Amino acid sequence: MTQVAKNLLIVSHAPSKNTQRLAQELHHAASSATSPNQPLLVKHIPALDANASDVIAADAIILMTPENLGYMSGGMKDFFDRTYYPCLEEKQGLPVCALIRAGSDGTGTKRALETITTGLRWRWVQEPIICRGQWDTDFIRQAEELGTAMAIALQEGMI
């Protein structure tokens, strides 16, 4: 029997070279984690371009944002401003996880993402990851692990 493809959506705001790299590695890892039994479509859309219809089509979502001024980036905030009400009734229970790139903290962004997604009734499948401090190549490993874990969990019906 042919399986209907599941849709994994990555919404990222990546204004710096390093955060762009993280978003690319996340996308690449998720796209590479394919199962022969369950097709998966991975879409990566910049936060400023992502719309409610993208979220409504998704079976799971990964959010990626830097922390700026103690909060998620303006681009990510704009994404929620535009999609919150159109998605509110349609996407309750949507599996979500997040990667936050923070120069020194990240907790304000984590709290804000948790507050908004609690309002949306999305379902956290793991704690948001904070890549904190000076740039470290280990952040790439964390991004890859997150992309792989979400892709496999979705394909295997675990989330």
In angstroms, the Cα distances linking 119 to 17, 74, 85, 132 are 32, 19, 10, 26
> CB of 45: closest distance to ligand FMN in angstroms?
20
Beta-bridge partners for 123: 95
- Indicate the angle between helix axes 74-88 and 107-120, nearest 10 degrees: 10
Closest-CA residue to 99 (of 153, 21, 157): 21
Nearer to ligand FMN, 68 or 155 (CB): 68
CB 15, min distance to ligand FMN, A: 7
Q: How far is the CB of 125 from ligand FMN (least distance, A)?
A: 23
Q: Which amino acid is at 126?
A: Q
For residues 59 and 135, which CB has a smaller minimum distance to ligand FMN in the complex?
135
Q: How far is the CB of 106 from ligand FMN (least distance, A)?
A: 5
CA-CA distance, 126 to 13, in Å (whole number)? Answer: 20
Q: Which residues bind ligand FMN (CB under 6 A)?
A: 16, 18-19, 66-70, 101-106, 135
Nearer to ligand FMN, 95 or 106 (CB): 106
Residue among 73 and 117 whose Cβ is closer to ligand FMN: 73
